[in-house]
Amino acid sequence: AMAGGLEPHLAALRRELGGPAVLSVLVALIAVAITFLLWRFVQGRKSSRKAVLLLGLCDAGKTLLFARLLSGRYRDTQTSITDSSAVYRLSQDKSTNVTLIDLPGHESLRLQFLERFKAAARAIVFVVDSVAFQREVKDVAEFLYQVLVDSTVLRNAPALLIACNKQDVTMAKSAKLIQQQLEKELNTLRVTRSAAPTSLDGSATGGPAQLGKKGKDFDFSQLPMKVEFVECSARGSKGEEGEADLEALQKWLVKVA
């Protein structure tokens, strides 16, 4: 019925434009314009997300890592109770930069700060204490699970880096072992979570968020975002006087910018 109603208008338009060939060209141009506008909209949404969030438990080394990336210098840090942000230049070209945001890791604060900044996240660096990991693995997996089932994070799918920090310490666990243990713990968590999870703002997501693929053991390749693991040391092998070992992390930041 709608097509029939439009036909007289299309016929009149053909007469005005001098025939169906011109109308076809006009329709094609309109289609191209709409496609371009949609592409610009999608790209605009992505480019508006310029933040790289530093997440992790207390004492994982986020704040020292944040300071080292910005200044290269060591500094004494204490447990953060608020966020810190700064522009991080990825090259001499001043237009290539991201906003680093260091979020508190305390259990009573971390989700409310993540709620505030998650929509702006172009990428997430989840910092793990490689020395305390065996003791903290359940807490680490719990926090990571809450991040990964969040509806905004799932929709935007920011690149995710698990930064296995404190590799300067002899007892530090390797990135490979940390990945295997996290996959195992996250698999257990998704099985035991029978109640429908809620997003960080407390709204229901309409049923249990499926982490990974149903019927298969969880692994990070099943997520909508690209996940990578690196080993690093914000303190550095020579302690306070030496340089941090952040090369792999810096290369990743350049790649996701």
Q: Where are the beta strands (DSSP E) in 144-216?
A: 159-165
Q: Phi, psi at residue 252, to the nearest 5°?
A: -65, -40
Domains: count for the chain = 1
Residue 11 falls within a domain, yes or no?
no
Taking the C-alpha atoms of residue 168 and residue 180, their distance in angstroms, rounded to an integer, is 21
Contacts of 230 (CB under 8 A, 6+ apart): 161, 162, 163, 164, 175, 248, 249, 252
Which CATH number is 168's domain given?
3.40.50.300
Residue 131: which domain range? 49-194+209-254
Please report where in the chains the tokens 């900044």 appear, as a residue.
117
Residue 187 falls within a domain, yes or no?
yes
Residue 96 falls within a domain, yes or no?
yes
**For residue 37, what pLDDT is reported?**
64
Share of residues in the chain with pLDDT > 70 (%):
73
- pLDDT, one tens digit per residue, over 25-70 is 667 777 777 766 665 555 444 456 789 999 999 999 999 999 999 8
Q: Does 97 or 137 have the greater pLDDT score?
A: 137
Using 50, 70 and 90 to split pLDDT, how confident is the model at 205?
very low
pTM recorded for the entire structure: 0.76
